[in-house]
């Protein structure tokens, strides 16, 4: 029962703060709302006994990605934004699309897994860092190395695109 209570609280806060991100006018507030959502998602990972991913979620998202966002917002000094965003045709289409996707995915999530086969092993075991490390460095060693290349590409690219004078 405890896990269910945690789920209800965390998911409500996550949805509310995601909506907060959506409607905040100031990008700084959007970022702060998003950080709250990300923390709640980390809490939900804990209810799934995915401890390692929960910790990584906080370290990577809250610790690195969102700090980067806030840094750029400060760097560009984006205080002065237009007050109201226009609602035009494109946005109307966007809204309808968004609602349609929501309806379909919710239907899918709520009904499609009615008789989902039970787990073969204990979730505590598969969520632990040792289990993930073992797979990551044996079976998934090749994509793991490629992810290293991807991060290198992103580093080089960020410098090339954002540096004032690149030579």
Partner 1 sequence: MELSGAFDNILADLSGGASVLWLALIGILLIIWDAFKNDDAALPWVAALSVVAAVVLEALRLQDTTTTAFFDLMRVNGVASFVSIVILLSTLLSITLSVPYLKGIRHGYGEVYALILFATSGMLMLGTANSLVTVFVGLETMSIALYILTGLVRSDEGAVESALKYFLLGAFSTGFFLYGIALIYGATGTMYFTEMAGGYAARELPVLFWAGVALFLIGFLFKVSAVPFHMWTPDVYQGAPTTLTGYMSTASKAAAFAALILVLFYGIGTLPVAKWQMPLALVALVTVVLGNLLALTQNNVKRMLAYSSVAHAGYVLIALAAGTSEGYAGAIYYLLIYALMNVGAFGVMAFLEWDDKEGRVQMLDSLSGIGWRRPLLGVTMGVFMFSLTGFPPFGGFFGKIAVFAPAVEAGLTWLAIVGVLASALSGYYYLRVLYVFWMRPIESADRAVRERSFPVPRLSAAVLVTCAVLLIVIGFVPFVRDMTQAFFVGATPAGLL
Partner 2 sequence: MGVPLSWYLTLSAVLFSIGVTGVLFRSNLIVILMSVELMLNAVNLTLIAFSQYMGDVSGQILVFFVMAVAAAEAAIGLAIVIAIFRNKLTVDINNINLFRH
Q: Among residue numbers 136 through 165, which ones bind partner 1 (CB under 8 A)?
A: 138-143, 145-147, 149-150, 152-154, 156-157, 160-161
- Count Cβ neighbours within 10 Å for each residue of 3-15 and write b for 16 or more, e otherwise: eeeeeeebeeebe
What is the 8-class DSSP label of residue 151? H
Least CB distance to partner 2 at residue 7 (A)? 5
As given in the structure block, the two tokens for residue 117 are: 């086969």
Q: x-or-dash pattern for partner 1, window 13-32, by CB under 8 A?
A: --------------------
As given in the structure block, the two tokens for residue 23 are: 């409607």
Question: Applying CB under 8 A, does 89 fall inside the site for partner 1?
Answer: no
Torsion sign over Cα 74, 76, 77, 83: negative
Residues 103-122 that bind partner 1 (CB under 8 A): 104-105, 108, 111-113, 116-117
CB 39 within 8 A of CB 62: yes
Question: Applying CB under 8 A, does 155 fall inside the site for partner 2?
Answer: yes
Q: Residue 141 binds which entry of partner 2, partner 1, none, with Cβ cut-offs from 5 to 8 Å by kind?
A: partner 1
Helix-helix angle 27-47:2-23, to 10 degrees: 160
- CB closer to partner 1, 1 vs 112: 112
Q: Residue 97 binds which entry of partner 2, partner 1, none, with Cβ cut-offs from 5 to 8 Å by kind?
A: partner 2
């Amino acid at each position: 029962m405890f896990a269910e209570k945690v789920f209800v609280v965390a998911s409500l806060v996550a949805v509310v703060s995601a909506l907060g991100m959506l409607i905040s006018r100031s990008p700084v507030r959007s970022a702060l709302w998003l950080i709250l959502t990300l923390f709640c998602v980390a809490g939900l990972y804990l209810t799934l006994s995915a401890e390692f991913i929960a910790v990584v979620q906080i370290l990577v998202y809250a610790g690195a990605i969102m700090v980067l966002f806030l840094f750029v917002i400060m760097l560009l000094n984006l205080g002065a934004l237009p007050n109201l965003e226009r609602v035009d045709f494109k946005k109307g289409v966007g809204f309808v699309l968004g609602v349609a996707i929501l309806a379909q995915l919710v239907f899918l999530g709520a009904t499609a897994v009615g008789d989902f086969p039970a787990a073969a092993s204990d979730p505590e075991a598969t969520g632990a860092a040792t289990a993930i490390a073992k797979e990551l460095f044996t079976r998934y060693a090749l994509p793991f190395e490629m992810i290293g290349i991807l991060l290198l590409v992103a580093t080089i690219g960020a410098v090339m695109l954002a540096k004032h004078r690149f030579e």
